[in-house]
Amino acid sequence: MTHRIVIVGGGAGGLELATRLGRALGRRGQASVLLVDANLTHIWKPLLHEVAAGSLNSSEDELNYVAQAKWNHFGFQLGRMAGLDRARKRIRLAATLDENGAELLPEREVAYDSLVIAVGSTTNDFGTPGAAEHCLFLDTRAQAERFHRQLLSHYLRAHAGEADDERISVAIVGAGATGVELAAELHHAAHELAAYGLDSIRPENMRITLIEAGPRVLPALPERISQPVHHSLEQLGVTVLTNTSVSEVTAEHLRAQDGRIIPASLKVWAAGIRAPAFLRELDGLESNRIDQLVVRPTLQTTRDDDIFAFGDCAACPQPGETGRNVPPRAQAAHQQASLLVKSFKQRLAGQPLPHYQYRDYGSLISLSRFSAVGNLMGNLMGSVKLEGWLARMFYISLYRMHQMALYGTFRTLLLMLSDRIGRSTEPRLKLH
């Protein structure tokens, strides 16, 4: 019987793995590869801040799982994983409902020989009172589009003379990559909206406050990167508050631990991550305090050799660094997907599995059209700091590399040409 590989989660890592395994094993009939996801389309998660600001039209940059499966020799099932039966080697998918609440697909089971869990992460609000009720999150395309609709609603009401205040105040909790990039993208959006005639709210009247509990922005990156980013944000008019923890969120404002009140009509929580809650003690699999599945260097879960996990939902130890796990970054998921392609070839051949070792190739942060900053790391050049246009080009290339892994070189070049043509026929900002 053909070996059944089931991949749960069609994010950047899971989709890349399914595509590459389909090409390598599915096309030759060496294995059947099935991807399971709760959505019909994929969009690269690092682009969600652009969707939220309107700089990116998600309907044009989305990938359809059904078409991708057909083109790359793997199967696709629409569904959300709701349970696991390790003894019977089956996963349970919850019933899928349509937009009216009617059952579209019934609850069902999917059998596997090897299971890969790549369901990513969600934002961690740390149980802050009011955060879940009053903050928007940017974990999914739907959430990013909801923020964009609310942003446009403020502008349209002001333009029609129905708003009480000709200002918009946006508070972003968390000055990691998502928070920083969203702040810069919103500043750009304010200028574009004014240019298109929605100038009842002037760009300087969009008040953006970026709040970070730690001592500096981009705490995961070197200080020599975070300092110029902090300076650039302030030059754009963004208010940056460091060493500021949020203790409560209400409909009108955020309250800091020191008692300060930060008014905000739109609030985004972008601080911290955790794995989806259903992974907690999933049929006896080991998980950590933020619900990540604990894996060995082979990316196999500690209690089941037939179940793998990678990406943000997995706690993978870094060799030689006691107590430290691989950071939840896109480059780690890409590296792990590449390793698992080799792993499954060797697994089917009865050979031992390779071990994963994280390699940090640096980080790049986009400040919208204004600039970009980051560092590239390599064996020959060490760590090289990049700023300005060159850093922006490297940042854009990351998305193109993701597209090349999914579409191949020729189709990616066609997409790049299409994007170039589209710039002259479409507005620079999504206005609906």
pLDDT in tens, 44-93: 888 888 898 888 777 777 889 999 999 999 999 999 999 999 999 999 99
Q: Is the pLDDT at 113 greater than 90, yes or no? A: yes
Predicted pLDDT of residue 399 = 74
Q: Tell the burial category of 229 from Cβ atoms under 10 Å away from its Cβ (0-12, 13-18, 19+).
A: buried
Query: Which alpha helices (H) appear in 237-287, and where do they start and end?
Result: none
Q: Is the pLDDT at 15 greater than 90, yes or no? A: yes
At residue 379 the predicted structure's pLDDT band, cuts being 50, 70 and 90, is very low
Q: Is the pLDDT at 241 greater than 90, yes or no? A: yes
Provide mean pLDDT across the span 205-231: 89
Q: Tell the burial category of 293 from Cβ atoms under 10 Å away from its Cβ (0-12, 13-18, 19+).
A: buried
- Provide the 10 A C-beta neighbour count for residue 264: 25
At residue 422 the predicted structure's pLDDT band, cuts being 50, 70 and 90, is low
Task: Express each pLDDT in 21-48 by its tens digit.
Answer: 999 999 999 999 999 999 999 988 888 8
| Residue 84 backbone class (left: φ over 0; alpha: ψ -120 to 50; beta: rest) | beta
E strands in 156-250: 168-173, 206-211, 239-241, 246-249
The residues, any chain, with a CB within 8 Å of residue 401's CB and separated by 6 or more, are none
The secondary structure element, H or E, covering residue 112 is: none
The residues, any chain, with a CB within 8 Å of residue 81's CB and separated by 6 or more, are 8, 36, 91, 92, 93, 94, 117, 119, 278
CA Rg value for the chain: 22
Is residue 291 a contact partner of residue 280, using CB atoms and an 8 Å limit? yes
Task: Express each pLDDT in 326-367 by its tens digit.
Answer: 988 888 999 999 999 999 999 999 999 999 999 887 777 778
Provide mean pLDDT across the span 207-219: 94
- Look at residues 385, 400, 372 and name the one whose alpha carbon lies nearest to residue 180: 372
Task: For residues 308 and 293, give the distance between their C-alpha atoms in angstroms, rounded to a whole number.
Answer: 9
Task: For residues 408 and 78, give the distance between their C-alpha atoms in angstroms, rounded to a whole number.
Answer: 24
At residue 309 the predicted structure's pLDDT band, cuts being 50, 70 and 90, is very high
Which tokens go with 323?
């107590």
Looking up tokens 């990351």 gives 398
Q: What is the dihedral of CA 379, 382, 385, 386, to 10 degrees?
A: -30
Predicted pLDDT of residue 378 = 52
- Answer yes or no: same fold for 3-121+275-348 and 126-271: yes
Provide mean pLDDT across the span 175-203: 84
The secondary structure element, H or E, covering residue 143 is: helix 141-159
Provide mean pLDDT across the span 129-156: 90
Is residue 8 a contact partner of residue 91, using CB atoms and an 8 Å limit? yes
Predicted pLDDT of residue 375 = 66
**CA 144, 148, 151: angle at the middle one, nearest 5?**
140
Tell me the CATH number of domain 3-121+275-348, given options 3.30.420.40, 3.40.50.970, 3.50.50.60, 2.60.120.260. Answer: 3.50.50.60
* pTM of the predicted structure, to 2 decimals: 0.88
At residue 108 the predicted structure's pLDDT band, cuts being 50, 70 and 90, is very high
Task: Express each pLDDT in 257-292 by its tens digit.
Answer: 999 999 998 999 999 899 999 999 899 999 999 999
Predicted pLDDT of residue 162 = 62
Task: For residues 375 and 384, give the distance between their C-alpha atoms in angstroms, rounded to a whole number.
Answer: 5
Is residue 209 a contact partner of residue 73, using CB atoms and an 8 Å limit? no
E strands in 79-218: 81-85, 90-93, 96-97, 103-105, 108-111, 114-117, 122-123, 168-173, 206-211
Which tokens go with 13?
């890592």
Mean pLDDT of the chain: 87
Predicted pLDDT of residue 350 = 94
- Provide the 10 A C-beta neighbour count for residue 125: 20
Residue length of the chain: 432
Task: For residues 137 and 155, give the distance between their C-alpha atoms in angstroms, rounded to a whole number.
Answer: 21
Q: Is the pLDDT at 389 greater than 70, yes or no? A: no
Which tokens go with 110?
């999917």
Predicted pLDDT of residue 370 = 64
Predicted pLDDT of residue 377 = 58
Cβ burial 40-61 (10 Å sphere, 16+ → b, else e)? ebbbbbbbbbbbbbbbbbbeeb
Which tokens go with 178?
């998502």
Residue 326 identity: V
At residue 381 the predicted structure's pLDDT band, cuts being 50, 70 and 90, is very low
Domain ranges of the chain: 3-121+275-348, 126-271, 362-422
Looking up tokens 């404002």 gives 253
Task: For residues 179 and 71, give the distance between their C-alpha atoms in angstroms, rounded to a whole number.
Answer: 36
Residue 61 identity: D
At residue 215 the predicted structure's pLDDT band, cuts being 50, 70 and 90, is very high
Domain 126-271 -> CATH class: alpha beta
3-class secondary structure, 306: strand
